[in-house]
Structure 1
Amino acid sequence: MPRIDGIYTAPAGTLGQPDELIASARYNAFIDDLAADLSAPLPVSVGGTGAFSVANALPSIGGLSIFAIQAMFAGSVFFFARLNPPEGWLICDGRAVSRSQHQMLFSRIGTRWGAGDGITTFNLPNIRGEFIRGADLGRGVDPARQIGSWQGDQNLEHDHDGAAASAGGHYHATVRTALVTNGVLIVANQFTGTVPSYNQTLASSNTGVVGPHTHTVTINMTGTENRPRNVALLACIKT
């Protein structure tokens, strides 16, 4: 740390003339020490990186090693606005990968997303085309779910307005119930034989009964899935 003050004297070995007085005086050494700190790496022990460049500083940032940083994020899923995964990441496409080549990732997720061949491989999460839902963890909104479990689509019970299609103008058949000739009832419900065809009146008529029936109401389908507005990104997991 920079010093506040001190005694300034000529450095040892300074040449001088015989009997020449070399003056000494108090001074503020802050500027000199600050310049020295800026031109030299700050040790890790006091919160620095101990390095002059970013590349050399990475292994000891904040006292953490690259291995510690990788271990911290192994198993994390990030979304990228790019076509290919960054180095050290794998696309979440459900494929089987080597347990020995990805030991850190395997130690984090195990066989939760699939056991692979059961011996040498394990499966990555398959998030392609899926929406993410936070694990319920006892809240009760989405109970009985485990991390990594898949859930199909569903609609909340609700109502739709509907109307039957118009049948257009049409007629219904009638049934003659009584034939009266000159005011005399000739036959009821049915007619047989020969009757003079004058002054005949239909005493009553009703439309034919077709019995209980239904009409079809069609609600048009507007899509093939349920979804909100969305943007597609590349889901990758840190190895």
Structure 2
Amino acid sequence: MCNLEYLKSDSFVPTLVSIKSAAEQEYLTKFVFDTSEVETNVWIGAKRRPDNGNQFVWNDGSVIEFTNWAEGSPSDQVKKECVLMRSQYTRGLSNIAKFDTLTINGKWGDVTCETTNWVLCQKLQTWSFPQLQKKLLDIKKELKDSLENVTKQLDNTKNQLEDTRNQLRDVRNELNDTRNKVSASAPAGTIAFFARNTAPTGWLKANGATISRITYADLFAAIGTTFGSGDGNKTFRLPDLRGEFIRGWSDGREVDKGRAFGSYQWGSNIPLAGYVGGNWERAISSGYQDRWNFAGNTFDEGFEPNVSAGETRSGTTFPVSNSSSCRVHYLEGPFKYSWITSWNVLKGTRPRNVALLACIKY
């Protein structure tokens, strides 16, 4: 037992007692009210939680699991924040039978903290120097062992990371080798035909599409704006090989001379001859032939006669007569030329062929 004034004056004295079990409660009840014959209530170390008025905790902050509340306690009245063990004498029950005192003695009640009562304290564990030294050595050993374990774990992790890094480096080298082999076998800008209707991985359809200069940087470095500059800033155009035959670039040779690299060229046999003033098989002037190689015509098979001057067929409008460029030169007779009144069209030359998908490597 200790008194409240002594608690306040000695900072080394512990807090009020915490009662953790029925056995402790029974012992303290007998000790306080039977042996010591205390005739007042006794403070114990329970208090109402400031953040939850319906719950109590011990002074050391631990949760109260065992309770011994008297009937009507704890209440929800304001300021009843402290807890005491009741004595029969303070209840005016001094004449109660001996065997009935336990029904009152030791029961808990919540009251205001200003009430004057005895206090029931518990002593702190005292340590001798050898005990303290041993405890410190034990703690030091535990810390050392923990540090060694952590160090081993860190070393193992470091080794694992090093192995992973080496593996990633090997994979990166393999990928670089594969990429170099692929680039060597089919560098960006390579044209190939595929027996499928979708472009394989690493290829794009050669369909004249506009694509990003950044996303397809290797392809842009290879072909640039040869087939179109796109928006002139962020995009460029692919070659459009749909429905086209491929012809070798003359590259300075005296065959198909004057052709720019990557340029398109139309068929040269449309039209071949004119039906001129009732005279057959008169040659069209060379100036007109050079000018009228009808681009993009999609006539049917064979020969198409009697196309009227000024008539439009498959997107091509044939020239009208009475035009200085629309006439045929005679090789004999009093006149040097005659007006063209109608056309006989011989369709473009086309070999047997098969349609495959043209793609470009990026």
| TM-score band w.r.t. shorter chain | 0.3 to 0.5
* CA radius of gyration, larger in: 2
Higher share of residues assigned helix: 2
Give the structure-2-normalised TM-score. Answer: 0.31
TM value normalised by structure 1? 0.46
